[in-house]
Structure 1
Amino acid sequence: MSGPRLLVVGVLAAAFGLRVYGLGVQSLWSDEGASAAMTWRTPAEILAASAGDIHPPLYYLLLRLWTEGSGRTEFGLRFLSVLAGVLTVALTARLGGRLFGTPGRLIGALLLAVSPLGVYYSQEARMYALLGMFGALGMNGLWELTASGWGRRAAAAYVVGMAGTLYTQYFGVLLLAAANLWFGLSLLGRLRKPGAARLALGWVGLQCLVGAAALPWYLAVLPQLGRWATGVPARPLAETARDLAAQAVAGPAWTALGPWVGLAGLGLAVLGVGAFRLNPWAAGFAAVYGAVDLVMPLLDLYRPFYQPKFLLLGLPGLSLWVTAGLAPAFGVGLKPGRWLAALGAGALGGVISLELAGVGAYFVNPAYWRDDYRGLVRVISALGRPADGIILDAPGQQEIFSYYYGGPLPVYPLPRARPPDPAATAQELADLLGRHERLWVVFWGDREADPQGIVEGTLNGSGYRAWDRWFGAVRLVLYLSPRPASELTPADIQFGDALRLTGFAVGDRPEYAPGDIIPVRLRWVAERPVERPYKVFAHLVDDQEFIWGQRDSEPAGGSRPFTAFEPGRPVTDTLGIPVLPGTPPGVYRVQLGIYDPATGRRLPVTDPAGDRVVLGSLRVGVGPVLDIAAYEMGARIGRELGGLTVAGYDLRPQGASQPGSTFRPKDFLHLTVFWQRPGVPTMLSAAGFRVELVDRAGNVVAAAEARPGGPDYPPGLWRPGEIIRTQHRFFLDLPPGEYRVRLSAGAEAEPLAAFKIEG
């Protein structure tokens, strides 16, 4: 095998490695759940379901066949897309070689092999990698037909590729239009040559074959496509074009690299213009192929639909367009000088570096991962109680939710109809609140299925909203059902100059367990119009002011903001304080306050003076042993220390909503350590535990005692597998530099995390 061929094989191996890396790490998301559900249907059922859907059936039919051998794990479902993605790289290499010779073969393959967009959608159990593969097959056939003369193999590649494209995604018609445009341009150049009429007639015959394959299906589903609600908001053309350019270069994680990535993409688009002088037909073909993606922002003006996944259709063409601009520096069309060769190599290296940076950001940063239904279900399974229920808003989540959830709790897809029936939906919610102790609600796609917010608004007004957590773009909310009405404790507490608390009730029993919800009812009166969207905070705190449960929200879960209060009219607000899993037994206080979310500033409280008020105290007892999924940790480690297992930790600046390791001087560092008793009893350290901050030289610059479980619940009383958390706060009156947090037990020491204090 020659050297260039070996290089192409190496590129294909790299393409495979990038696409298969971590293939089963991420959860399936909603659309992938729909793909998985299709694999359980018969071919006839798939055809019937696709006829009422917005996607043609070919991918689903192939996936069903594929899963008979691969299984239905995340890895197995996605591997078909991996193969399609690698084959697309191979087809792009072949087409690049036909257009620009050996350098074009290698450059085109390399650009697509490391394309973040190509990698991302080759790791998804959806049809977009397959769309790119069929498109590349059809365009290979098209070039052979117009450049090398008529041939059965080229004709078959064109027909199979175009028909496959049309049966994979309806936007495949754009590629068919581009193919006809290119053939028309090539025919214009041959009008005076013999055989032009024969070529035109043959081309018409090929279009008839493609039409005969696709037209019956398209005529049947045309009414359905006309009613398709894209769910994509309209946005300015410039914004869509910038996103397209940035996605083409750096993929979904382009925002991690900075806004200039879009400019780099536009610069690469200009790069191919110079190739028209040297090789107009090859460059023109690449331009027509890539233009399939470039027209999408223009079509988006007519009907908003643009999403990066559709770019897979023309992504090989965009790679070949960049190849057209780089190829002259590698000897295509001219003999490059030393400076041109160096410039071309530098430009290629820069593009590859940008693409690899985008791939790396996608791999390591969970912010760019798919919605985590797997993690969401684990949380429900860990914290769910026998009397709980689960609501899916919107019902379209049933397939992905059932892929992961096989537990005993009943699942209710709401609203039942589209458009929803407000009265029927509200009545069913009232029945569910009376039937279940708590309700878990999974919100995704609710803007389309429940545009009036019937489900959320009804639950906010009737239940105690206690818990919100995001799993990608999916929101999980926990409500405590209404409690028997009790008398409010009268109060007269002024917050700022406009709001007054006139009554409250905390809890409905004297003791709670970790994972429970403490119901709180409040009665507010606005003495004058409120101009700021203030939020209420309710904290469960210990004697050191560490928070062991909290709820921050506008009144009624945001459904009745302070800005909508009528002066002088009392408003009753309900909220729930979740007791954090791992809270040690003891007596805790419930504190209440109001703050401005824009500034973080709390409203002053009068009588007693301060910025918060204590509503009462209650006891937290011993709860059930919970699965580790119940604990929201910044990192899991599972290391032994002093007879206990350090299950994980969470490090962040105090008050930050997300974990972080970068601090400023005078910040407070907040550390939570999760301690677990091993299944097999071990000897606990007699020296106790310490949390230490250590500088780069190994010197301890700050330290605090760690007492897992506190005085009321030492580790000797814990049950096997039980997890208890400790909290620690350090004032960073330290010089800028790099530090490390470590735990120690006598002579043992366990490093936890590095952090940095900026200058």
Structure 2
Amino acid sequence: MTLLAFLLRVIRLDFQPLWWDEGYSVYFAKMSIPAMVEATSLDIHPPFYYALLHWWISLMGASPVALRLFSVFVGVLTVPLLYAFARALLGREVATLAALLLALSPFHVYYSQEVRMYGLVTLLGLASTHFLVLLVLEAEGEARQFHLCRLVVGYVLFAALALYTQYYAVFILLAHLVISVTFWRTSRRFIKLREAHFSRIWALPLAAMALYLPWVVYAGMRLAAYIEGKKAIEQYQPLSLPYFVARYLVAFGMGHLPPQREWALWVGGSILALLALAGLWRMRSRTVALVVVIAYLIVPLSGGFVVNLLYPFHPRYFERILLLALPPYLLFLALGIQTFVYWQGRSLCKKTGVLILVAGLSALSLFYFYTVPRYPEDDYRPLAELVSRLSGPEDVLLCVYPWQVGYFQSYCPRECPSPSPVASSEWGEELQSQLEAFLEGGRKIWFPAFQARGAILENRVEKYLLERAYPVLNKWFGTTRLLLFAPPVEAAYQPTKVRFGEFLELEGYAVGDERVESGHGVVRVKLQWRKLKDSESEFRVRLRLVDVNDRTWAQRDSGPAGDNYPFQKWEPEEENSDPHGLLVPAGVPPGRYELRLSVYSVDEEKSLEAFDGVPPEPSLEYTLGAVEVLVPKEPPGIRALPIEEELRANLGGRALLLGYALPDGP
């Protein structure tokens, strides 16, 4: 079963993209330990998971697969631990079935592949509960004192570490307190233990909480302020108790399904929940197991519901927050399956049938997990790949959100520029000074502008850079626009009068770069336009770098002001300056090229005639000047070249054919 759990958790480990919370995990884990402690005191989770991930990264690296292997390792360890826990309470048969259910659990598989702390707190919570159960079940005797001491130390250690992993772990300790006090007051075995050295087992959860007290003192007020701010911003409404419980029971059984398969989630989850209720009925005669498992499940769910009332928070997949309560649910489910099999006599047919049903429901959920991306609009892999190919060694990668920093630290830790968080989360002098320092240093700025949360700060940054720099790239990747700006440059202004059709006139221009390196060089051009009259068509500007054979080696198509102020919005006779940056890609041979300008109608896919009043006849392009492309001082890597098919063919020891790309054609 452990091997089965491992296989299910490593299948397609690199399929799902990292999402925001995983980006935060990488961001925190890449910090030094002191900086991590300080940063997580201002966040929604304590630092222990991030500290473990920090050490894991130092050994395995920060690629998505390496990061997720840590979660896989934690998830797989939970399976034999659940077996030991269930065997101590309910016997070998139920323990085997419970371990099998955990190995197959879609809910657990999901979070055994996610770079978050939910799997770890589940493991630590289960370990501490197991130690508590062993203490409850241990017989009294002087010869057992050393063993009891180890159990006490193990319990306090794992319980405290669970608290330092996720704040919701406090509900596990409250469950332990309920269990301990219940047996201390009612069980003869506990009466004997009360008279021994380890009598006050009910005090052990308090001892673990005492170890947690320094963090509460250090981070408590900051956490309260963070939660209040988050509540005010997100404004979720509390869930009703029936819906809250139903969501968790369904998730415990079926995990998550795509929205269009929501009906299957509820049908399958309801079937499994009914089996779990049968297990609860079957457990009524086993006092120790009943008290332990009910408290282990009900107290965290009750605590989560109270938090939901006070600080409602239920985004998509919110059930992950209480993954730590999955083990007791699976014990009820295992006992329910056993009850169904034994009802009116044992039946191999019934046992096989119910196991096939459970495995089938699990397979359905896992199929969608392995084949349907959960956050396709936030997949930064193609974005990071483009940045890694086109960025230069002196470029800047500016990120508004910490999770963006984590993405780039994982997807391209060496190929991309080191991500730089914004100096302030609010627009002001501090952030302006940061941007100005980048531009004065002559550095290109890559800016992934996230658009799904209003993009207020992103728009201010973009506006500021458009006024001072040259827009080079503006490309959408799901919910993010990837922007690239080249720094300002001194350039001689060339007045001219070039009409483009009946609608636009080029009043002048300035070409800031007559000599550029291929790979990372940018030809910076500033155009001065005057609109002659209105048109129903949308016009875009095209810059081309062409050789003597009219072959295009670099091209940029854009509306004015980086697509932010289209010609359609201009008033007749309005004049504006329009900066453009043309990136010269890797692989452009050294030599002289012409820089040509055209304006075309997007609707008609037709270029306007350009005429400067000098014969011959008007053409479809206007030549702005010549540009000399130089061999780069630092050759770009192979990934920067436009290679579709990689070969690496040795041509007689004199050259290496890296690969080729073919144009589209019949």
TM-score (normalizing by structure 1): 0.63
CA deviations over 1:390-434 (Å, ceiling 9, x no partner): 43434786677678656897x6835323445x2342244234334
Alignment-mate amino acid for residue 360 of structure 1: Y
Q: Which runs of 5+ in 1 are unaligned?
A: 1-10, 495-499, 596-601, 633-646, 649-673, 684-715, 731-759
Alignment-mate amino acid for residue 354 of structure 1: L
Equivalent residue in structure 2 for 1:393, among 394, 400, 403: 400
Indicate the residue corresponding to 1:348 in structure 2.
358
* Distance across 2 between alignment mates of 1:529 and 1:269: 64
Q: Confirm whether residue 175 of structure 1 aligns to residue 186 of structure 2.
A: no
Indicate the residue corresponding to 2:160 in structure 1.
163
Q: Percent identity?
A: 23
Q: Confirm whether residue 31 of structure 1 aligns to residue 28 of structure 2.
A: no
> Structure 1 residues 515 and 188 mapped into 2: Cα distance closer, same or farther (>3 Å)?
same
- Report the CA distance between 1:441 and its aligned residue: 3.0
- Report the CA distance between 1:131 and its aligned residue: 1.1
Q: Confirm whether residue 276 of structure 1 aligns to residue 269 of structure 2.
A: no
Q: Secondary structure at the match of 2:165?
A: coil
Indicate the residue corresponding to 1:84 in structure 2.
74
CA deviations over 1:681-718 (Å, ceiling 9, x no partner): 159xxxxxxxxxxxxxxxxxxxxxxxxxxxxxxxx9xx
* Distance across 2 between alignment mates of 1:550 and 1:14: 52
Alignment-mate amino acid for residue 313 of structure 2: P
* Structure with higher strand content: 1
Equivalent residue in structure 2 for 1:725, among 658, 661, 666: 661
- Report the CA distance between 1:365 and its aligned residue: 9.6
Alignment-mate amino acid for residue 135 of structure 1: G
Kept in 2: contact 1:35–1:125 (CA 8 A): no
Indicate the residue corresponding to 1:314 in structure 2.
325
> Structure 1 residues 427 and 24 mapped into 2: Cα distance closer, same or farther (>3 Å)?
same
* Distance across 2 between alignment mates of 1:398 and 1:442: 10
Equivalent residue in structure 1 for 2:424, among 404, 412, 417: 417
Alignment-mate amino acid for residue 106 of structure 1: T
Matches within 5 A, 1:431-470: 431-436=437-442, 438-442=444-448, 451=457, 453-468=459-474
CA deviations over 1:423-457 (Å, ceiling 9, x no partner): 34224423433431632235579969984643233
> Structure 1 residues 138 and 193 mapped into 2: Cα distance closer, same or farther (>3 Å)?
closer
Alignment-mate amino acid for residue 162 of structure 1: A
Equivalent residue in structure 2 for 1:263, among 248, 266, 269: 266
Equivalent residue in structure 2 for 1:214, among 212, 215, 237: 212
TM-score (normalizing by structure 2): 0.71
> Structure 1 residues 510 and 208 mapped into 2: Cα distance closer, same or farther (>3 Å)?
closer
* Distance across 1 between alignment mates of 2:55 and 2:216: 23
* Distance across 2 between alignment mates of 1:563 and 1:304: 43
Alignment-mate amino acid for residue 6 of structure 2: F
* Distance across 2 between alignment mates of 1:341 and 1:286: 24
Q: Confirm whether residue 127 of structure 1 aligns to residue 63 of structure 2.
A: no
> Structure 1 residues 351 and 26 mapped into 2: Cα distance closer, same or farther (>3 Å)?
closer
Q: Secondary structure at the match of 1:160?
A: helix
Paired residue total: 617
Indicate the residue corresponding to 2:615 in structure 1.
none
Indicate the residue corresponding to 1:680 in structure 2.
650
* Distance across 2 between alignment mates of 1:488 and 1:295: 73
Q: Secondary structure at the match of 1:110?
A: helix
* Distance across 2 between alignment mates of 1:463 and 1:592: 22
Equivalent residue in structure 1 for 2:49, among 59, 71, 88: 59
- Report the CA distance between 1:134 and its aligned residue: 0.6
Alignment-mate amino acid for residue 415 of structure 1: V
Q: Secondary structure at the match of 2:662?
A: strand
* Distance across 2 between alignment mates of 1:245 and 1:486: 71
Kept in 1: contact 2:474–2:562 (CA 8 A): no
Indicate the residue corresponding to 2:2 in structure 1.
12
- Report the CA distance between 1:559 and its aligned residue: 4.7
* Distance across 1 between alignment mates of 2:578 and 2:290: 66
Indicate the residue corresponding to 1:757 in structure 2.
none
- Report the CA distance between 1:628 and its aligned residue: 3.3
Kept in 2: contact 1:393–1:449 (CA 8 A): no
Matches within 5 A, 1:572-721: 572-578=577-583, 581=586, 592-593=599-600, 602=603, 614-616=620-622, 626-630=636-640, 648=644, 674=645, 678=648, 680-681=650-651, 720=656
Equivalent residue in structure 1 for 2:313, among 304, 307, 313: 304
- Report the CA distance between 1:142 and its aligned residue: 4.9
Indicate the residue corresponding to 1:491 in structure 2.
499
Alignment-mate amino acid for residue 165 of structure 2: T
* Distance across 1 between alignment mates of 2:30 and 2:585: 35
Alignment-mate amino acid for residue 15 of structure 1: A
Kept in 1: contact 2:236–2:312 (CA 8 A): no
- Report the CA distance between 1:105 and its aligned residue: 2.2
Q: Secondary structure at the match of 1:171?
A: helix
- Report the CA distance between 1:479 and its aligned residue: 1.5
* Distance across 2 between alignment mates of 1:90 and 1:392: 42
> Structure 1 residues 418 and 330 mapped into 2: Cα distance closer, same or farther (>3 Å)?
same
Q: Secondary structure at the match of 1:391?
A: strand
> Structure 1 residues 594 and 311 mapped into 2: Cα distance closer, same or farther (>3 Å)?
farther
* Distance across 2 between alignment mates of 1:463 and 1:440: 12
Kept in 1: contact 2:279–2:334 (CA 8 A): no
Kept in 2: contact 1:537–1:553 (CA 8 A): yes
- Report the CA distance between 1:289 and its aligned residue: 4.1
> Structure 1 residues 395 and 271 mapped into 2: Cα distance closer, same or farther (>3 Å)?
closer
- Report the CA distance between 1:547 and its aligned residue: 9.0
Q: Secondary structure at the match of 1:304?
A: coil
Indicate the residue corresponding to 1:140 in structure 2.
130
Indicate the residue corresponding to 1:335 in structure 2.
345
- Report the CA distance between 1:510 and its aligned residue: 7.4
- Report the CA distance between 1:169 and its aligned residue: 1.6
Indicate the residue corresponding to 1:556 in structure 2.
561
- Report the CA distance between 1:148 and its aligned residue: 8.2
Kept in 1: contact 2:283–2:290 (CA 8 A): yes
* Structure with higher helix content: 2
* Distance across 2 between alignment mates of 1:286 and 1:358: 31
Q: Confirm whether residue 430 of structure 1 aligns to residue 455 of structure 2.
A: no
Alignment-mate amino acid for residue 400 of structure 2: D
Indicate the residue corresponding to 2:613 in structure 1.
none
> Structure 1 residues 192 and 283 mapped into 2: Cα distance closer, same or farther (>3 Å)?
closer
> Structure 1 residues 603 and 197 mapped into 2: Cα distance closer, same or farther (>3 Å)?
farther
> Structure 1 residues 149 and 450 mapped into 2: Cα distance closer, same or farther (>3 Å)?
farther
* Distance across 2 between alignment mates of 1:114 and 1:535: 56
